[in-house]
Amino acid sequence: MDNQRIAIYVRVSTDMQGDESIENQIERCKQYLQFKGFNSDTAEVISDIASGADDGRKGLSQLMEKINNKEIDVLIVTELSRLSRKIKTLINIIETVKSNDVVIIAVIQNIDTATPMGKAMILMTGLFAELERDNLKQRVKNTLDTKARNGNHTGGVAPYGYDLINKELVPNPKKSEIVKKLFNDFILGVSLSDLSRNYDIRLTTVRRILASPTYIGTKVYGTRIVNNDGKVVYADPENIKYIPNAHLPIIDEEAFYTVQKMLNESVDKWHLRSKNKQKEYLLYGLIKCYNGHNMYGAETTNHYRYYRCGLHGKLVDQKFCPKKNILAAEIEKDVINDILNFDISKVDIEKGKKLKEIELKKYSDDLGIEQEKLKKITDLYVNDQLEKDDYLERKAVIDKKIKLLESKIIILNKNITEEENQRKSINSLKLVIEKLKTKPSFEKMQKYLHTIINKVQFINDFEYEIYFNI
């Protein structure tokens, strides 16, 4: 076994290595190799200091590259959880190892994939490892739930206005007074931005304070969760837990719910103002960026009017939408010119409609012939001039032809109706183009454009296509 190329893979979750230190794992693997007659001196050691749920470990990536390059014959670990604590990842590793004829040895679990029993055990052990990890996560969650129900703090910094003393939230004498003033001033009509300036608190913090039930003594728990990919995401609102009387309140409930009503009304007014503001843009609701996102009208403090992607600068599918802003005056002018120069004569709907009507007449005639054939064989069968088996066989053939013809007639009728609607749309487009030439008011021009345009879709940062309602 001296010519076997051996890799020892070791991993710890943190630098606090204890009994499962990297050194201990290496020593245990080498002792096992010597016991089995391998030359442990030539074994290559690959290590990681990372969680077993992290698939992007540097050492693991190096190991898998060597396996894929067929540079390893034997892989040894103290236990399978060193490779991964996720069953899906572990199965993928095993499949890769198997396809490259590499033997896996897990010392503690006494697994050797050179044997049939070892191959079966390796999958079962991985399954139990993930089950134990899920059970541990549930136990941690249950512990935090119990803490929350008992009014204990469940982690993180104390909310503004509170101090964390003996794992309980206690109002801070100075900051709790500021919280009270925030609520009182907002009720008196002071804006959020003015509150932020007056008390030197970030605007987002002011908004969060005014909206949080924490300040009436309610514990809010479970707003964020860890998903299956290990990422922290916002929880479903239905799963968020509210535990009343968990700690001393700073604000009375009457003041708190008055503020909530005012905040909701402010949001409604903002949406109304935003909607009305969009109506000041000629192509509002029509423009889409090359990723299919809606583009909205916006304006700088210097009255620079433009359209911007609603998701510009925001993560979408782990990417930022890179669409550049478009000067409103330029795109509006270009779209109007494109419509005025649109050659409607190239759209020949009547010719296509006539061809379909000819085709429809042929199918209708053929259908009449087949229906007549069916009537004749039915009469022959009823008058005992045709055997039952012969009748059923011929009827099945005719029924199939009738069904096919009826289907074609339905489709053609639908297409002819759609083309009739298209003809009406073309006439509307002609009429709107003529009206645009008269340079109507902004409101009328906006109405005309929204009547004939379905969308203005950008292809790249500079080119676009106009889709008409035809």
Distance, in Å, from the CA atom of 128 to the CA atom of 1, rounded to the nearest integer, reads 32
The reported pLDDT for the residue numbered 320 is 61
pLDDT band of residue 183 (cuts 50, 70, 90) is very high
- The CATH number of the structural domain formed by 6-144 is 3.40.50.1390
Q: Regarding predicted confidence, which is higher, 264 or 208?
A: 208
What's the whole-model pTM score?
0.37
The answer to whether 126 touches 109, Cβ cutoff 8 Å, is no
Own/partner pairs for 324-332, CB < 8 Å, 24+ apart? 324/461, 325/298, 326/287, 326/295, 328/281, 328/282, 328/297, 329/305, 331/283, 331/287, 331/307, 331/456, 331/464, 332/281, 332/282, 332/283
Nearest-5° Cα angle at 168, 165 to 172 = 60
Range 102-126 average pLDDT: 74
Per residue in 273-294, pLDDT (tens digit) is 666 777 788 888 888 888 888 8
- Residue-wise pLDDT tens digits, 408-457: 888 878 776 766 666 676 777 788 888 888 888 888 888 888 888 888 88
Pairing, β 305-309 against β 326-327: antiparallel
Checking if the pLDDT of 23 tops 90, the result is no
> Regarding the domain with residue range 162-275, which homologous superfamily does it belong to in the CATH classification?
Putative Large Serine Recombinase; Chain B, Domain 2 (3.90.1750.20)
The predicted pLDDT at position 133 comes to 58
Cβ-count burial 437-461 (b if 16+ within 10 Å, e if not)? eeeeeeeebbebbeebbebbbbeee
Q: What is the pLDDT of residue 101?
A: 87
Per-residue HEC secondary structure of the chain comes to: CCCCCEEEEEEECCCCCHHHCHHHHHHHHHHHHHHCCCCHHHCEEEEEECCCCCCCCHHHHHHHHHHHCCCCCEEEECCHHHCCCCHHHHHHHHHHHHHCCCEEEECCCCEECCCHHHHHHHHHHHHHHHHHHHHHHHHHHHHHHHHHHCCCCCCCCCCCCEEEECCEEEECHHHHHHHHHHHHHHHCCCCHHHHHHHHCCCHHHHHHHHHCHHHHCCEEECCEEECCCCCEEECCHHHCEEECCCCCCCCCHHHHHHHHHHHHHHHHHHHHHHHHHHCCCCCCCCEECCCCCEEEEEECCCCCEEEEECCECCEECCEEECCCCEEHHHHHHHHHHHHHCCCHHHCCHHHHHHHHHHHHHHHHHHHHHHHHHHHHHHHHHHCCCCCHHHHHHHHHHHHHHHHHHHHHHHHHHHHHHHHHHHHHHHHHHHHHHHHHHCCCCHHHHHHHHHHHEEEEEECCCCCEEEEECC
pLDDT of the residue at 229: 58
What pairs with residue 221 in β-bridges?
Answer: 241
pLDDT tens per residue across span 202-242: 988 999 999 889 899 888 776 666 666 556 666 676 777 78
Q: How many CB atoms lie within 10 A of CB 297?
A: 20
- Looking at the DSSP assignment, which residues form a beta bridge with residue 45? 8
Domains of the chain by residue range? 6-144, 162-275, 344-438
User: Residue 91: which pLDDT band, with cuts at 50, 70 and 90?
Assistant: confident
Determine phi and psi for 450, rounding to 5 degrees: -70, -20
Q: Can you tell me the mean pLDDT for 198-203?
A: 90
Confidence of residue 181 (pLDDT cuts 50, 70, 90): very high
- Which has the higher per-residue pLDDT, 370 or 223? 370
Among the residue ranges 192-201, 392-401, 461-470, the one predicted with the least confidence is 461-470
What is the rounded distance in angstroms from the CA atom of residue 240 to the CA atom of residue 234? 10
Residue carrying structure tokens 């003529």:
434
- Whole-angstrom distance, CA of residue 97 vs CA of residue 87: 15
Indicate if the pLDDT at residue 343 is higher than 60: yes
pLDDT: which is higher, 462 or 333: 333
**What does the mean pLDDT of the chain come to?**
80
Query: For the ranges 39-43, 199-203, 355-359, which has the lowest average pLDDT?
Result: 355-359
* pLDDT for residue 356 is more than 80: no
- Which of 130-144, 200-214, 378-392 is the least confident region? 130-144
pLDDT tens, 28-76?
Answer: 888 888 888 888 888 899 998 888 778 888 999 999 999 999 999 999 9
pLDDT tens digits for range 305-342: 888 887 765 544 445 677 788 899 899 999 988 888 88
What is the average pLDDT across 151-173?
Answer: 80
* pLDDT (0 to 100) of residue 46: 93
- Highest mean pLDDT range out of 70-84, 99-113, 145-159, 425-439? 70-84
Higher pLDDT, 328 or 461: 328
pLDDT at 270: 61
Distance between CA atoms of 221 and 47, rounded to whole angstroms?
38
Residue 153, Cβ density class (10 Å: 0-12 exposed, 13-18 middle, ≥19 buried): buried
Specify the pLDDT at position 325: 86
